[in-house]
């Protein structure tokens, strides 16, 4: 009897270096499936939707691109909308599949779904083959097992650099033979229950996703899919030759190339971290090896670390006290949180970053650290609300990187120093000309740099002269920031 393997794609939306797909190279027939799980589009317990319109669109584009790549290989992608643990066993049985291969997604809710899937397959006598593929280092190659890994990044990084190696990328199949299957439509945003609203910075401009044209102030026109992800890798590294200066530019705020912008493609698995690593190594051989080329890989270590930390601590990352059981008096302040989330705090460096996130689904790493610290350290509002807002908005949302970094910033995660970011001095350092705040806060466009960063220092006469009246054109600061930092400095 012909060997038929079903491949469940989830956050590995690529044909290059795909472990689950590579396992099926010897199968007579391969049935690739992507299942839109309605639970991933529901409201989270904190209020916002788990997936907002920008990431949903990026996902749809990625699934469409995967389907095209599989069709180019002679196969197809079956797309379904339903719970994977019921849809996939049914499809597997219908097509006589004897095994289902999938890359595991290491996180609590995802593990619950995968567990239910494995059980349902078992009941039908269908084998489940789970592969590990998210990280640069394979989980089985870690010198110390995840349960024992250090909760501090540096010793862990030093250990893997000393003792572990990155595996080669997995071969891509030359051809795929897919059984005759109803391909299924890729659900629209409306099918997924996602409504674009003005609050998302996106109006219905008549496009199929109903979220309008991308904001032309965005750092990049992010398009989902392996094709676009590989093109960005090629562009950033080879065409624009920016890897050689990554370490010097990575704290930037404006423009496409201050950092790689690989994150949305890495998060959905359109790009494999091993492929990125391979390209960096080739660049080092062919062009230059320096601190910058090393630093991009160093950041991928952070990505790995957050994932392995999740594997170790699991659900503790979602608790207010985090993985270190740190008790802080977190406030619930709906109105205050609403101002932070909308970019209406009256503190321009915070607001500019939040408006960028809300309008585009992206925010720089420097921005993320600052707005997270402002919420947790200055406003003392429950950091999990901030993490949930990011979850809805970010194009590159990854459960481990998001909740892990938020917990870190809130002082309940993998950093025991409990440092805060002073958004005033950070703004001065990283936006010395006020260009970034004026880019995202056009109402402050007429102000000189210092006043654009700290408009509350303007006298009434100056406000009138510049045509920016606080409380009318731009909010008064919701807290006395200078006093707040004075308190934090002790």
Ligand X SMILES: Cc1cc2nc3c(=O)[nH]c(=O)nc-3n(C[C@H](O)[C@H](O)[C@H](O)COP(=O)(O)OP(=O)(O)OC[C@H]3O[C@@H](n4cnc5c(N)ncnc54)[C@H](O)[C@@H]3O)c2cc1C
Residue 169 near ligand X by CB under 6 A: no
Can you tell me the distance from the alpha carbon of 235 to that of 261, in angstroms, rounded to the nearest whole number? 11
Q: Please say whether the beta carbons of 421 and 373 come within 8 A.
A: yes
CB of 409 to ligand X, least distance (A): 5
Nearer to ligand X, 161 or 480 (CB): 161
The CA distances from residue 128 to 1, 68, 98, 203, in Å, are 19, 26, 9, 43
CB of 284 to ligand X, least distance (A): 16
Nearer to ligand X, 41 or 262 (CB): 262
Going edge to edge, which strands form the sheet with 78-81?
Answer: 78-81, 29-36, 4-9, 99-103, 127-131
Can you tell me the distance from the alpha carbon of 107 to that of 395, in angstroms, rounded to the nearest whole number? 18
Angle at 488 between CA 483 and CA 490, to 5 degrees: 95
Q: What is the DSSP string of 404-429?
A: HHHHHHTTSSS-SS-----HHHHHHH
Scanning 33-41, 69-77, 401-409, 456-464 for contacts with ligand X by CB under 6 A, the matching segment is 401-409
CB of 268 to ligand X, least distance (A): 10
Residue 137 near ligand X by CB under 6 A: no
Pick out residues in 46-85 that bind ligand X (CB under 6 A).
none
Nearer to ligand X, 296 or 481 (CB): 296
Residue from 353, 360, 369, 414 touching ligand X (CB under 6 A): that is 369
Q: How many residues line the site for ligand X (CB under 6 A)? A: 29
Nearer to ligand X, 11 or 178 (CB): 11
Pick out residues in 258-317 that bind ligand X (CB under 6 A).
259-263, 266-267, 296, 299-300, 302-303, 306
Residue 394 near ligand X by CB under 6 A: yes
Residue from 377, 396, 422, 431 touching ligand X (CB under 6 A): that is 396
Residue 397 near ligand X by CB under 6 A: yes
Nearer to ligand X, 269 or 477 (CB): 269
Pairing between β-strand 78-81 and β-strand 29-36 as defined by DSSP bridges: parallel
Q: Please say whether the beta carbons of 237 and 243 come within 8 A.
A: yes
Q: What is the SS3 string spanning 280-339?
A: HHHHHHHCCCCHHHHHHHHHHHHHHHHHHHHHHHHHHHHCCCHHHCCCCCCECCHHHHHH
Residues that bind ligand X (CB under 6 A): 250, 259-263, 266-267, 296, 299-300, 302-303, 306, 364-365, 368-369, 372, 390, 394, 396-398, 401-402, 405-406, 409
């Amino acid at each position: 009897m012909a060997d038929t393997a079903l491949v469940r794609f989830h956050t590995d939306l690529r044909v290059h270096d795909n472990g689950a797909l590579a396992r099926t190279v010897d199968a007579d027939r391969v049935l690739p499936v992507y299942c839109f799980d309605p639970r991933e589009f529901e409201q989270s317990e904190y209020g916002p939707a788990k997936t907002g319109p920008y990431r949903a669109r990026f996902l749809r584009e990625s699934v469409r691109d995967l389907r095209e790549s599989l069709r180019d290989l002679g196969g197809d992608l079956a797309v379904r909308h339903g719970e994977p643990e019921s849809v996939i066993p049914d499809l597997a049985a219908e097509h006589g599949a004897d095994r289902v291969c999938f890359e595991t997604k290491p996180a609590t809710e995802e593990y619950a779904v995968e567990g239910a899937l494995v059980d349902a397959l078992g009941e039908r006598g269908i084998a489940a083959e789970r592969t590990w593929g998210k990280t640069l280092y394979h989980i089985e190659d870690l010198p110390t097992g995840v349960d024992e890994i250090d909760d501090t990044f540096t010793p862990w990084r030093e250990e893997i650099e000393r003792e572990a190696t990155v595996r080669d990328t997995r071969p891509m199949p030359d051809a795929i033979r897919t059984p005759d299957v109803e391909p299924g439509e890729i659900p629209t945003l409306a099918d997924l229950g996602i409504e674009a609203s003005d609050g998302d910075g996106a109006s219905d401009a008549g496009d199929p996703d109903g979220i309008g044209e991308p904001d032309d102030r965005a750092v990049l026109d992010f398009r989902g899919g392996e094709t676009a992800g590989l093109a960005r890798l090629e562009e950033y590294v080879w065409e624009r030759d920016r890897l050689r200066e990554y370490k010097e530019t990575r704290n930037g705020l404006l423009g496409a190339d201050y950092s790689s912008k690989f994150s949305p493609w890495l998060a959905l698995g359109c790009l494999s971290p091993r492929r990125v690593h391979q390209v960096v190594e080739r660049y080092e051989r062919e062009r230059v090896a320096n601190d910058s080329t090393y630093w991009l890989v160093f950041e991928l270590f952070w990505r790995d670390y957050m994932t392995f930390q999740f594997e170790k601590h699991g659900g503790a990352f979602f608790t207010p006290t985090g993985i270190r059981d740190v008790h802080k008096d977190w406030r619930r302040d709906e109105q205050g949180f609403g101002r932070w989330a909308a970019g209406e705090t009256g503190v321009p460096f915070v607001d500019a970053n939040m408006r960028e996130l809300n309008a585009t689904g992206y925010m720089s790493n420097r921005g993320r650290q600052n707005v997270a610290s402002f919420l947790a350290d200055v406003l003392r509002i429950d950091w999990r609300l901030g993490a949930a807002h990011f979850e809805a908005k970010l194009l590159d949302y990854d459960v481990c990187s998001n909740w892990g970094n938020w917990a870190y910033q809130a002082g309940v995660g993998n950093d025991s120093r409990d440092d805060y970011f002073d958004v005033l001095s950070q703004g001065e350092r990283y936006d010395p000309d006020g260009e970034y705040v004026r880019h995202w806060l056009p109402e402050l466009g007429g102000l000189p740099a210092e006043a654009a960063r700290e408009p509350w220092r303007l006298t009434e006469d100056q406000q009138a002269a510049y045509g920016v009246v606080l409380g009318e054109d731009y909010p008064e600061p919701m807290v006395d920031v200078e006093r707040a930092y004075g308190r934090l400095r002790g």
